[in-house]
Amino acid sequence: MLEIRNLSKTYNNKVIALKNVSLTVNKGEFAMVLGLSGAGKSTLIRSINGLISVEAGSIEFEGVSVSNKENINKIRKDIGIIFQQFNIIKRLTVLENVLCGRLAYSNTIMSSLKLFKKKDINWALDCIERVGLKEKAYVRSDQLSGGQQQRVGIARALAQQPKLILADEPVASLDPYSAEEILELLTEINKKEGITMLMSLHNVMLAKKYGNRILGIKNGILVFDKQVIGLTEKE
């Protein structure tokens, strides 16, 4: 599904964030990118949907090159992304956030529900229900807990019907209990809906517990690639 070859990224011509990273993610996997702060996880995750441009190497999603600007909008529709800081609009309700996510590509933010089609509203409500926030659909997002705000982020990603969800340290801002709840929700989405997951994490215990594959990254270099079940080591 995702094929990354010899990816390198240097910031400001001096900070090496990624060095010759190659990896393949198969459909249905729940892959964890594990590494310390500054290892290059975020750069790797964000380069996949073009949020960061790389200087060398290639990324192909279902055979289509991400570096080609003409392809990026199509690829972004198939790839949802969630963030450490949730990146939701706090003054909007849960429903509005999920609806606006669908329009993110046209940079339009509509805060009146009247502007949306009934079909889109129903679809957004369905996504909200899938993350367990049905009762909160009309509540302003700033009244939600951190874990609930991340659920809004997940619902927004689901609304675009992604084939792959990228998650950049999605639980690093949450308390341990909420963190596991979010990882359980993502596991359920991965198993039941078959959506592939690629996530960055710095917590070894959580990576082993929830991932079925661990990609270890250190100083921008991929240092190991292990299946959690089966333990077949690459290098």
Which residues contact ligand ADP by CB under 6 A? 11-12, 15, 17, 35, 37-43, 49, 51, 76, 81, 83-85, 87, 104, 168, 200
Task: Name the amino acid, one letter, at 149.
Answer: Q
Rounded to a whole number of angstroms, the minimum distance from the CB of residue 206 to ligand ADP is 15
* Nearer to ligand ADP among residue 135 and residue 175 (C-beta): 175
Rounded to a whole number of angstroms, the minimum distance from the CB of residue 162 to ligand ADP is 9
- Retrieve residue 53's tokens: 């441009």
Whole-number Å distance between alpha carbons of 201 and 209: 12
- For residues 167 and 87, the answer to whether their CB atoms sit within 8 Å is no
* Nearer to ligand ADP among residue 81 and residue 207 (C-beta): 81
* Nearer to ligand ADP among residue 54 and residue 95 (C-beta): 54
- CB-based burial, 45-79: b 16+ in 10 Å, e otherwise: bbbbbbbbebeebebbbeeeebeeeeebeebbebb
Rounded to a whole number of angstroms, the minimum distance from the CB of residue 171 to ligand ADP is 12
Rounded to a whole number of angstroms, the minimum distance from the CB of residue 229 to ligand ADP is 25
* Nearer to ligand ADP among residue 202 and residue 208 (C-beta): 202
